[in-house]
Structure 1
Amino acid sequence: MIKISVLFMFFTFLGCSSYGDKPNESTAVNPPIIKLTDEELIDLVQKQTLSYFWDYAEPNSGMARERYHPDGIYPENDAHVVTTGGSGFGLMAIVSGMSRGYITKNQGTERLNKIANFLANADRFHGAWSHWIDGNTGKVKPFGTKDNGGDLVETSFLAAGFITVREYLKNGTAEEKAVSQKFDELWKGIDWQWYTNNQNKLFWHWSPNYDWQMNFALEGYNECLITYVMAAASPTHPITPAAYHEGWARSGAIVSAKTKYNLPLILKHNGAEEFGGPLFWAHYSYLGLDPNQLTDKYANYWDLNSNHTKINYLYAVANPKKFKGYGANYWGLTASYSRNSDESIGYDAHMPSNDKGVISPTAAISSIVYTPVESIALMRNLYENYKTETWGVAGFYDANSLQYKWTAQRYLAIDQGPEIVMLENYRSGLLWKLFMNAPEVKQGLINLGFHSGKYGF
């Protein structure tokens, strides 16, 4: 098990007197608090959070559980339900753990091989996997009645992990090269073209029973940019640039002229055009896709994500609803567990336009590449002042509310994964470098009209 031990020194000074004298007044003092440096704090959070994907992974498949509840109580007996997209984040997290020495390269390679073998035998739908999979059987677990087939967005998150693993292992030992090749084959088997449904856009779902009835076209802006990048990068089933420009960018209608707190939003955030959407929109697509110096004719992607994050932060500082604790060291609205009006635990896409008084630690932590000072302040506040309530076996719990004195002492893969990946990208840029230097990724981005000064195209 991945564990962190932080030693605190305790000094107690006892008054001394000779026999028969009245004892001195107690001179015991409170133990001094030894604060972690920023680097120690980041390392602590990154390592502890990796436990989600290592110690608490679904045992048969090695994949990331959709959720982990330390109390062992799960709805609908879904302790063995694994998540496709969250496992893609987990693949990157495992690479990070190997590179940091949290786990050995041999251990990591063995786990990655197990995952590759499971996915090769799991249900697929024109090469794509379903949103949820039964970790015991590899069979689809429907996300909804008609959502019982391929989920292209979740598959794109998974595929970004494939490429990252492939690039990390491709020049290693014979065993590492063999695992690298397995992930390459899984990547090449995804039929992105199928999911256009013969139109100039991508669609989220296809079902063998309900065909295209979900009818959810991927139009920006939200978390789905990476889906178009992966589809354009495919060496076997690529989409045409027209799908990106006409579908995702809506023939240019994706561009926004709005500002908030004097910061341009740059792109129209679907359903959240005043403040921007939940912060996972600045994370999921950019775990491998490096927004530094990345542009196309619609946006500068560093400015897009940096502004989005700062707007979310400034909203917490302004705190128009006067929720307790909101401010410079307690902020971050994104999708996570939430507190329902009846005080039960639910799930909600928190954002300034849907603020329920609940912050999600992943929102600020995964934004560290954009707002390092503000993100570290959140981590330090939670760890030093609210550790008992917010810190557990796999890092910070999923959601917290000082307003309601409430914490969801549970974890979600899609929240824990971005924390590890973005902490690593902040420290070394490793996952960005692996993904962006993959030849087909570069070519796919070029085909869509992207430019990157950092990677030379």
Structure 2
Amino acid sequence: MTLTHLRTFCLAALAVAAAATAAPSRSATTAPSRSATTATITRYKNLPLAQQQLIDDLQRRTFDWFWDSTNPANGLVPDHYPSPESFASIAAVGFGLTAYGVGVERGYISREQAIERTLATLRFFKDAPQNASEDDATGYHGFFYHFLNLHTGKREARWVELSSVDTALLLGGVLFAQSYYDRDTPAEREIRALADAIYRRVDWPWLQVRKPLISMGWTPGGKFIPHDWQGYNEGMLVYVLALGSPTHPVGGDAWKAWTATYDRTWGNFQDVTLLNFAPLFGHQYSHVWIDFRGIRDDWNRAHGLDYFQNSRRAVYAQRNYAIVNPGGWTGYDTNVWGLTACNGPGGIVVEQGGRERTFQGYTARGAGRDYVSDDGTIAPTAAAGSIAFAPELVLPALATMKQRYGQWIYDRYGFVDAFNLSFHTKTGLRTGKLVPELGWVDTEQLGIDQGPIVLMIENWRSDFVWKVMRRNPYIRKGLQKAGFSGGWLAAPAR
């Protein structure tokens, strides 16, 4: 299976059909107590100078990835870069649209530059063809294809699905633009109008093939994907946006059905009790745009925590897993950890130490009560994108990985997507390269992994993205229809 075919469906399949895997009975480090999850988080301004410089440098390089890689004519962001042959990822576009605002606030670019890039992007998605054809469309029923040709903007190939979750991640950036560009100028008024039109067009009930849940997507040839968003994962954003729609909303029973599927993944993993989803991206993506601190739905209230606290626990559980290191992979320790969806050495079985080892290509690596998928491949975004949840674990991890391996895994655009210190087989590689005496390292970055780095760093530093999105009426409405209350939702939008 090729990288592109695998990436299209592996995350969705893992979200609904992961095999349970037994975890070691005891962790090698203390899990966060319930009281610890509400502790004040150390902020950037209190850090030692060396850590401030580390974060400054990483955030700027990761922002530059989006700014340099994007097609300025249509705003499409490549799935992977600096590979010259990448298709565009609509999820990466959502992260990019949000990153431009961060760039303005940090002084990387001017507001005028961000407006120009944002207008190009929104004009493209507003006017791109929406129809049921196999090859002559960008989307249908307001949704968009997961991967688009970077230049034409059409569906990349017939294996690409119309994706509900990738459309939701795109819309996170679209609605960020709607709320951030709030000045009374022709350009900013146009941004708000385009964003509103793009969001209002999405026909969420059309994908409720098995009501009240929402399907993962559709293809002209295969029709509706036979899986719905259920279990805890990145699909949370899908439901919030579907509930908040002023034109094509789903009913409140959709959120109840979504949370009703949680119980099979609630429980202990590595001495941490949490709502499990093995790859850390599932604990990051929706949180990029929604501040879940202090707001709770019915499920939260029944279990005594909010989703932010749950993500914090997930970070601790993954770090604990790396310390125990049941797979015996090279390099795992207290400050070298992090499993999430990323590239890898690729579809290779080798014999090491008298046993067969299988090394995957792109897949949703993770460790949790629901399943474990671990081949020794570390993705720095797993830690970096979790900085807002547990900076006391993330900052040492980033510093250690950069100090030990930076000359091979840290480049013009920050951390490469992934590295594997257990892989040393000389063979044809789909991506990345072998470094003698070190192992496999990737040679590019992925948009969906770069996004959480630059944006969650900013949320940790300043609450910036969260503050902007608290003002968005559609986000607020979606959360309220889902039954969230308390915290910032109890105050008027401002």
TM-score (norm 2): 0.77
Aligned residues with identical type, % of pairs: 30
* Cα distance change on mapping 1:445 and 1:386 into 2, 3 Å: same
Q: Deviations over 1:214-257 (max 9, x none)?
A: 212111212110000000011111100112212x123x654655
1:26 matched residue in structure 2: none
1:309 matched residue in structure 2: 315
1:455 matched residue in structure 2: 489
Q: Which structure 2 residues correspond to residues 208-227 of structure 1 after superposition, within 5 A? A: 208-212=220-224, 214-227=225-238
1:162 matched residue in structure 2: 174
Alignment of 1:277 onto 2:281: no
Moved more, 38-47 or 202-211: 202-211
The whole-number CA distance in structure 2 between the counterparts of 1:396 and 1:134 is 26
Letter of the 1:406 partner, please give it. Answer: W
Note the C-alpha offset of 1:335. Answer: 0.8
The whole-number CA distance in structure 1 between the counterparts of 2:75 and 2:401 is 30
Note the C-alpha offset of 1:36. Answer: 5.4
2:76 matched residue in structure 1: 63
2:11 matched residue in structure 1: none
Q: Deviations over 1:244-302 (max 9, x none)?
A: 212x123x65465521233212x3x4xxxxxx410001111111011211211213212
The whole-number CA distance in structure 2 between the counterparts of 1:286 and 1:257 is 19
Check the 8 A contact 2:231/2:262 in 1, yes or no.
no
The whole-number CA distance in structure 2 between the counterparts of 1:285 and 1:183 is 19
Check the 8 A contact 1:437/1:455 in 2, yes or no.
no
Check the 8 A contact 1:130/1:140 in 2, yes or no.
yes
Letter of the 2:299 partner, please give it. Answer: Y
Alignment of 1:87 onto 2:69: no
Letter of the 1:137 partner, please give it. Answer: T
1:101 matched residue in structure 2: 107
Instruction: List alignment gaps of at least 5 residues for structure 2.
Output: 1-47, 129-137, 301-305, 351-358, 424-438
Note the C-alpha offset of 1:62. Answer: 2.1
The whole-number CA distance in structure 1 between the counterparts of 2:152 and 2:386 is 36
Letter of the 2:168 partner, please give it. Answer: S
Check the 8 A contact 2:77/2:447 in 1, yes or no.
yes
Alignment of 1:197 onto 2:209: yes
Aligned length: 402
1:260 pairs with one of 269, 290, 296: 269
CA RMSD, 1 decimal:
2.0
Check the 8 A contact 1:319/1:326 in 2, yes or no.
yes
Alignment of 1:236 onto 2:247: yes
Alignment of 1:127 onto 2:142: yes
1:272 matched residue in structure 2: none
The whole-number CA distance in structure 2 between the counterparts of 1:336 and 1:193 is 31
* Cα distance change on mapping 1:322 and 1:193 into 2, 3 Å: same
Note the C-alpha offset of 1:416. Answer: 0.5
The whole-number CA distance in structure 2 between the counterparts of 1:69 and 1:282 is 27
Q: Which has the larger radius of gyration?
A: 1
The whole-number CA distance in structure 2 between the counterparts of 1:253 and 1:136 is 40
Note the C-alpha offset of 1:342. Answer: 5.3
The whole-number CA distance in structure 1 between the counterparts of 2:332 and 2:210 is 48
The whole-number CA distance in structure 1 between the counterparts of 2:458 and 2:442 is 25
Letter of the 2:420 partner, please give it. Answer: S
Letter of the 1:226 partner, please give it. Answer: L
* Cα distance change on mapping 1:172 and 1:46 into 2, 3 Å: farther
TM-score (norm 1): 0.83
Note the C-alpha offset of 1:94. Answer: 1.3
Check the 8 A contact 1:362/1:415 in 2, yes or no.
yes
Check the 8 A contact 1:397/1:411 in 2, yes or no.
yes
The whole-number CA distance in structure 2 between the counterparts of 1:59 and 1:440 is 28
Check the 8 A contact 1:261/1:314 in 2, yes or no.
yes
Note the C-alpha offset of 1:452. Answer: 3.6
2:39 matched residue in structure 1: none
The whole-number CA distance in structure 2 between the counterparts of 1:395 and 1:311 is 25
The whole-number CA distance in structure 1 between the counterparts of 2:124 and 2:182 is 20
Letter of the 1:262 partner, please give it. Answer: D
Q: Which has the higher contact order (CA 8 A, sep 6+)?
A: 2
Instruction: List alignment gaps of at least 5 residues for structure 1.
Output: 1-34, 73-77, 270-275
1:140 matched residue in structure 2: 155
Note the C-alpha offset of 1:374. Answer: 1.5
2:461 pairs with one of 424, 427, 432: 427
2:256 pairs with one of 245, 248, 271: 245
Note the C-alpha offset of 1:321. Answer: 2.4
The whole-number CA distance in structure 2 between the counterparts of 1:255 and 1:315 is 20
